[in-house]
């Protein structure tokens, strides 16, 4: 067989040229809004390739990557074992629309790492998993109302695109055009880490609440932890009123700990488990794959066994499951998360020291391979506090780091991610850049 002819080398386009071109055919020039750099200003970088801890843009500039595709690349880019598994799976076929042994293996691997679950349903995105988890909770309980928290993002399903109401424990209002008010009439939006509000909500609506959904570490208001008393009280209230507790671990799953964030809360709250768990990012290793999972009793409500319908042509995709399995195998090796957590803490400690030396108000937090920093003296506990951080100073810091070859999330309300591929030299270079930028802040 003759090889395909090589295309002639195309002229190199700049990031600005590509962005201008993209805006002609793609709304805003991007296929996910935060990529547009609207929050920080400037021109988004168009990435051409990645390897290990680095990404390269269209102009050949290399960056140390602290986004990692927004969480999946916990091993770094192009890990040999993952790459080998994906290539082998691709040779066997991209998609079958039929069951495969590998999707069973991935489900078994997830169950083996998370004690709270007995069955898993694989899907293609975190949004799909979150939407399906809520439908399952409503179907299992026969109730309509759901509780979410301001600043937590669970995907762009209609019922979840809501902002908080004006009063205590009030129903939310749509935050996106195209979402009718009646679609979110059953969604209550409360303040994160506010025990009094969750108690008031259950007192007023307890018999009608199907579920409470939460990010245990909120990664879309940067990095904000749910306090142990807050999580404990939600668990108690759900048990008392017959509601289900959903842990959205799309970001935190297998990244903050091998047993995910729920394993950390189980250490602090004896016997703690959520009723339904939502996973994404790491379990796909960079491929479009997510999942929701629960006990056998709850999962039996799903079609084809029960009345709750959910389906997907590409669910359990054979290439994606190969990528996810290989990733889970690597991160399950002894000491992996301890080493990753040490790198992340070193990064945070160094950033804090550089900010302190420059006299810049700064606070940091991290867990495993996930981190956050704020231009404020103390860590925020909810969305309203996050929004008081110094936006202008963050933007200057972001661009200063970008110019020095460090790629951070282009918005102050997004968490950051480390990978096992980061070297000591990478961390040293990052902290040297930060010291330089903060000194000018």
In angstroms, the CA 154 to CA 329 distance is: 27
Choose the weakest-confidence range: 6-15, 90-99, 127-136: 6-15
Reply yes or no on whether 248 is catalytic: yes
pLDDT at residue 188, as a whole number: 95
* Among 63, 66, 153, 407, the one annotated catalytic: 153
pLDDT digits (tens, 9 = 90+) for 311-336: 999 999 999 999 999 999 999 999 99
pLDDT digits (tens, 9 = 90+) for 295-311: 999 999 999 999 999 99
Structural contact between residues 163 and 171, judged by C-beta atoms closer than 8 angstroms: no
Average pLDDT value over all residues in the chain? 94
pLDDT bucket at 414, cuts 50 / 70 / 90: very high
pLDDT at residue 6, as a whole number: 53
Query: For residue 203, what are the contacts with CB-CB under 8 A and spacing of at least 6?
Result: none
203-232 average pLDDT score? 97
* Among 57, 248, 275, 365, the one annotated catalytic: 248
Percent of the chain with pLDDT over 90: 90
pLDDT at residue 182, as a whole number: 85
Buried b vs exposed e over 249-262: b needs ≥16 C-beta within 10 Å?
bbbbbbbbbbbbbb
pLDDT digits (tens, 9 = 90+) for 63-74: 999 999 999 999
pLDDT at residue 95, as a whole number: 96
pLDDT digits (tens, 9 = 90+) for 157-186: 988 888 765 443 345 678 888 888 888 889
Domain 15-65+334-439 in CATH 3.90.1150.10? The answer is yes
In angstroms, the CA 38 to CA 36 distance is: 5
So where are the chain's domains?
15-65+334-439, 80-331
Q: Which residue has the higher pLDDT, 122 or 161?
A: 122
C-alpha distances (whole Å) from 139 to each of 32, 143, 298 are 31, 7, 9
38-43 average pLDDT score? 94
pLDDT at residue 1, as a whole number: 44
Q: Is the pLDDT of residue 106 over 80?
A: yes
pLDDT at residue 172, as a whole number: 65
pLDDT at residue 19, as a whole number: 96
pLDDT bucket at 123, cuts 50 / 70 / 90: very high
pLDDT at residue 190, as a whole number: 96
Query: For residue 247, what are the contacts with CB-CB under 8 A and spacing of at least 6?
Result: 214, 216, 260, 261, 262, 274, 276, 277, 278
pLDDT at residue 5, as a whole number: 53
Instruction: Look at strands 119-123 and 244-249 and give their pairing.
Output: unpaired
May I ask the CATH architecture of the domain 80-331?
3-Layer(aba) Sandwich (3.40)
* Among 281, 343, 407, 426, the one annotated catalytic: 281
Buried b vs exposed e over 44-72: b needs ≥16 C-beta within 10 Å?
bbbbeebebbbbbbbeeeebbbbbbbbbb
pLDDT at residue 10, as a whole number: 56
pLDDT at residue 174, as a whole number: 80
Reply yes or no on whether 281 is catalytic: yes
pLDDT at residue 161, as a whole number: 86
Reply yes or no on whether 365 is catalytic: no
Structural contact between residues 247 and 321, judged by C-beta atoms closer than 8 angstroms: no
pLDDT digits (tens, 9 = 90+) for 142-153: 999 999 999 999
pLDDT at residue 171, as a whole number: 59
Percent of the chain with pLDDT over 70: 95
In angstroms, the CA 240 to CA 158 distance is: 28
Q: Which residue has the higher pLDDT, 3 or 169?
A: 3
């Amino acid at each position: 067989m003759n090889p395909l002819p090589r295309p002639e080398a195309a002229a190199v386009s700049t990031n600005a040229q590509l962005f201008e071109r993209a805006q002609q055919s793609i709304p805003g020039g991007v296929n996910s809004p935060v990529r547009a750099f609207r929050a920080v200003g400037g021109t988004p970088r168009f990435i051409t390739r990645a390897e290990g801890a680095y990404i390269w843009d269209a102009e050949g500039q290399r960056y140390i990557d602290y986004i990692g595709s927004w969480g999946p690349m916990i091993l770094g880019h192009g890990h040999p074992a993952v790459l080998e598994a994906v290539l082998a799976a691709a040779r066997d076929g991209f998609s079958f629309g039929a069951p495969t042994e590998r999707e069973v293996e991935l489900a078994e691997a997830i169950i083996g790492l998370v004690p709270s679950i007995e069955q898993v349903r694989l899907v293609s995105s975190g949004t799909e998993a979150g939407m399906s988890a809520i439908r399952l909770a409503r179907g299992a309980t026969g109730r309509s109302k759901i509780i979410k928290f301001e600043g937590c993002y669970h995907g762009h399903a209609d019922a979840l695109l809501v902002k908080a109401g004006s009063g205590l424990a009030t129903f939310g209002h749509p935050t996106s055009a195209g979402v009718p008010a009646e679609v979110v009439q059953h969604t209550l939006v409360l303040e994160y880490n506010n025990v009094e509000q969750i108690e008031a909500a259950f007192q007023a609506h307890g018999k009608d609440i199907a579920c409470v959904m939460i990010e245990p570490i909120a990664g879309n208001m940067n990095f904000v932890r749910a306090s142990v008393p807050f999580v404990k009280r939600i668990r108690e209230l759900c048990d008392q009123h017959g509601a289900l507790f959903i842990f959205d671990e799309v970001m935190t799953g297998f990244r903050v700990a091998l047993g995910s964030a729920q394993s950390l809360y189980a250490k602090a709250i004896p016997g703690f488990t959520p009723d339904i768990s939502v996973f994404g990012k790491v379990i796909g290793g960079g491929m479009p794959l997510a999942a929701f999972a629960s006990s056998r009793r709850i999962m039996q409500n799903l079609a084809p066994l029960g009345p709750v319908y959910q389906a997907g042509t590409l669910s359990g995709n054979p290439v994606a499951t190969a990528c996810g399995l290989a990733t889970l195998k690597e991160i399950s090796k002894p000491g992996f998360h301890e080493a990753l957590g040490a790198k992340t803490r070193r990064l945070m400690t160094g950033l804090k020291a550089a900010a302190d030396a420059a006299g810049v108000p700064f606070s940091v937090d991290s867990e495993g391979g996930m981190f956050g920093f704020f231009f404020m003296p103390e860590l925020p506990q909810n969305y309203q506090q996050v929004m008081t951080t110094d936006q202008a100073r963050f933007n200057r810091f972001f661009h200063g780091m970008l110019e020095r070859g460090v790629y951070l999330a282009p918005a102050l309300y997004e968490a950051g991610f480390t990978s096992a591929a980061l070297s000591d030299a990478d961390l040293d270079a990052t902290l040297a850049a930060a010291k330089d930028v903060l000194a000018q802040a």
